[in-house]
A = this chain, B = another copy of it.
Amino acid sequence: MSLLVVGSVAFDTVETPFGKVEEALGGSALYFSTSASYFTDVNLVAVVGDDFPEDTTDFLASRGVNLDGLQRTSGETFRWKGKYGYDLNEAITLDTQLNVFGDFHPELPEDYRSASHVFLANIDPELQLEVLQQVEDPEFVALDTMNFWIEGKKDALLETLSHVDMVVINETEARQLADEANIVQAAHSILEMGPDFIAIKRGEYGALLFTERDTFFAPAYPLEAVFDPTGAGDTFAGGLLGYISQNGHLNPQHLRQAMVVGSCMASFCVEEFSLDGLRELDSQSIASRFSKFEKLVSFEPLESL
């Protein structure tokens, strides 16, 4: 099984109440790839500028991520600058420089086209569709999006949505996409747009999975120290899709485990700045954190009332 991801690679400058990093590795595709690399073979499609040092990608290569689809273009790499207050659920964007990402058109190397699983990270829905047109016959396709595209490219987004199996999206954006305040109704309304599954991310409150008939809730782990929530959503998606791709088949129990695996990976992500929380994990530490999630929500059936 292999997992294709298309998204952004960026340099992030992030300030939280607990510290600051300048021009650290970031972007949806990097968080996603790193997280997913613990579970499956990842093929990355993204673009960087000629300011992107060769050795910066060494880490990804060391994680076994295939970088054949990482384009290098004349210009500067995408940069994002943001800060968080004590409410770590909401980032304040201070500066966005799209740079080479502004003209990005994903081109899939030949050996990427047979990908069994695909994640279309949060980029222009027209580009997401371009990717899908280059993939031969994927088993499972998931998509993320954001308010910017919901407002500005709704038709293209709806077209792309009709070709995917799963949506992974923030709670506020789910409400906006469905034009519906109640999250259960919003989820079902989005399922009617095409996908069979919708995973709704609620930041430190966990994530919900809806299918037409079923609802599952994966909590976020209550951590004593959250340093930097940047990338948590893409890290969640990386764990989720990585685990789905590793298992290769979809059944309700695997999907539930995959949601918790996503939550696990996100919990490692937010404990450090940039990708630092994801650099040195192993199967044992992931399995151990997964067990903590089991303990967090486990309770016995009622015998009587």
Does A280 sit at the interface, judged by CB under 8 A?
Answer: no
Instruction: Find the residue from A206, A225, A290, A297 having the highest chain B CB count within 10 A.
Output: A297
A253 contacts across to B, CB distance below 8 A: 299-300
Given A222-B217, A305-B287, check contact A257 B300 (CB 8 Å): yes
A29 contacts across to B, CB distance below 8 A: none
A215 to B297, CA, bound (A): 9
A226 contacts across to B, CB distance below 8 A: 182
A287 contacts across to B, CB distance below 8 A: 302, 305
Are B181 and A217 in contact (CB-based, < 8 A)?
Answer: no
Of the candidates B182, B216, B302, the one whose C-beta lies within 8 Å of that of A296 is B216
Closest to A300 in B: B253
A244 to B290, CA, bound (A): 29
Does A81 sit at the interface, judged by CB under 8 A?
Answer: no
A267 to B115, CA, bound (A): 43
A286 to B301, CA, bound (A): 12
Copies of this chain present in the complex amount to 2
Does A291 sit at the interface, judged by CB under 8 A?
Answer: yes
Given A86-B181, A205-B205, A305-B39, check contact A299 B223 (CB 8 Å): no
Instruction: Find the residue from A181, A182, A215, A260 having the highest chain B CB count within 10 A.
Output: A182
Are A215 and B257 in contact (CB-based, < 8 A)?
Answer: no
Does A113 sit at the interface, judged by CB under 8 A?
Answer: no
Closest to A261 in B: B302
Closest to A185 in B: B224
A217 to B294, CA, bound (A): 10
Are B302 and A256 in contact (CB-based, < 8 A)?
Answer: no
Does A92 sit at the interface, judged by CB under 8 A?
Answer: no
New A-B pairs, 6, CB < 8 Å, besides A216-B297, A287-B302: A182-B226, A184-B223, A253-B300, A256-B299, A283-B305, A290-B302
